[in-house]
Amino acid sequence: MRLVMIGSGYVGLVSGACFADFGHEVVCVDTDAAKVATLRAGRIPIHEPMLDQLVARNAAAGRLSFTTDLAEAVREADVVFIGVGTPARRGDGHADLSFVHGAARELARNLAGFTVVVTKSTVPVGTGDEVERIIRETNPGADFAVASNPEFLREGAAIEDFKRPDRIVIGIEDARARAVLEEVYRPLFLNRSPILFTRRRTSELIKYAANAFLAMKITFINEIADLCEQAGADVQEVARGIGLDNRIGPKFLHAGPGYGGSCFPKDTLALMKTAQDHGAPLRLVEATVAVNDARKRAMARKVVQAAGGDLRGKTVAVLGLTFKPNTDDIREAPALTIIQALQDGGAAIRAYDPQGMAAAGPLLPEVSFASSAYDAAEGASALVIVTEWDAFRALDLPRLHAAMARAVLVDLRNIYKPDEAERAGFVYASVGRPVPGEAEPLLEAAE
């Protein structure tokens, strides 16, 4: 089938490349001529494992192409996906739908024959109704149907998620659209991936509800971690103990500095605002947003406390800037807030990240960037692990100790064992785990 993906950002590029790999003919459209030129030259503007190979293979096969000419692409399309950004709107937190609405108006002028228009962007409930109204108003004679097909891609594992999804959600109001989208996703039917057809508004809400629930799960275990620290319990064992319950599950129960990224912060906020507008406030989501915002600065206070209460005039090494590993995405990353709070306390920051430094540079003009974790640690009075990159999981602790002015290690991802860090001579702090030595007498008494 002939598919058009409006937007060649994270969602559009990954989805377009994967659809092309299924055998469809895909055109990715973007208004950014420089980005289109970059993609045509075989360079990928985002970091996603294996995406460069997927794009290259399908571009070489003639199934995947890139253009700025939306009109020509849409005229030949069976399905047009809208995969543009929906950032939080400044001032009120609602999702900014201006890019979605603009795409709907432009594509409407060029529809030819029956076309299914699909919102793949994360959009508030009722957006499909507005997209349909815009298209009908712009081109009253158009033969089309509007569907919802939210994405559930994890950055760093997006290709696997697309090709072997937990589920595919499709919201429709027109039986013709169902038949078309069944053909689009037919390769996954053969893999027996669960495909859920719903009404359009239900599909839109599923995406927000899923992200909000996962954000609440992260925030819950982070609050349990705080209690564990005060009560002398181990949050990792608590998480394992509750995660073994099939009703709860182990995923998203890793205590840390709070969630960030391109989805959870804006989607929880947008869902909260939508619920308030409908007179059905979501108090749990509101609390999740507030607790997560507060947590990031609390992690900076943890660093200061571990370092003796004062970092003024001292250097802090920060390992990890992206909101998670295997991406170059720093949007709403906890590291940004933590660094700002440490700078507010008078600390100088030297940071290292395997992929995120180019994007972080403009946002952190007073931060110096290192060439490695060991370079970052040189002369530092504290070292903070913020993102759990594989490159940080087996650091040479004695080498770090020798490089630092004071051996303080604050492990916000619980990568290292407390006794391991202490044997290397570090003052060690982690999240939701007892201080080394506190639990041993109890264990000995029990024996």
* Active-site entry in 18, 28, 228, 263: 263
Q: How far apart are CA 39 and CA 33, in angstroms?
A: 10
Other C-beta atoms within 10 Å of 434: how many?
18
Active site residue 263: yes
- Tell which residue, 347, 266, 279, 273, has the closest CA to residue 308: 347
Q: Which structure tokens are listed for 280?
A: 């059905």
CA 6 to chain centre: 20
Contact 203, 402 (CB under 8 A): no
Q: Is 212 helix (H, G, I), strand (E, B) or coil?
A: helix
Count of residues in the chain: 447
> 361: which DSSP letter?
G
Q: How far apart are CA 201 and CA 203, in angstroms?
A: 5
Contact 123, 97 (CB under 8 A): yes
Q: How far apart are CA 243 and CA 223, in angstroms?
A: 16
Residue matched to tokens 């543009």: 84
Q: How far apart are CA 205 and CA 203, in angstroms?
A: 5
Contacts of 410 (CB under 8 A, 6+ apart): 302, 303, 306, 382, 383, 384, 385, 428, 429, 430
Helices (H), 315-411: 334-344, 357-360, 373-377, 397-403
φ, ψ dihedrals at 434, nearest 5°: -65, 155
- Strands in 353-396 per DSSP E: 368-369, 382-385
Contacts of 72 (CB under 8 A, 6+ apart): 110
Contact 273, 97 (CB under 8 A): no
Q: Is 211 exposed, middle or buried (0-12, 13-18, 19+ CB in 10 A)?
A: buried
Contact 250, 244 (CB under 8 A): yes
- Could you list the active site residues? 263
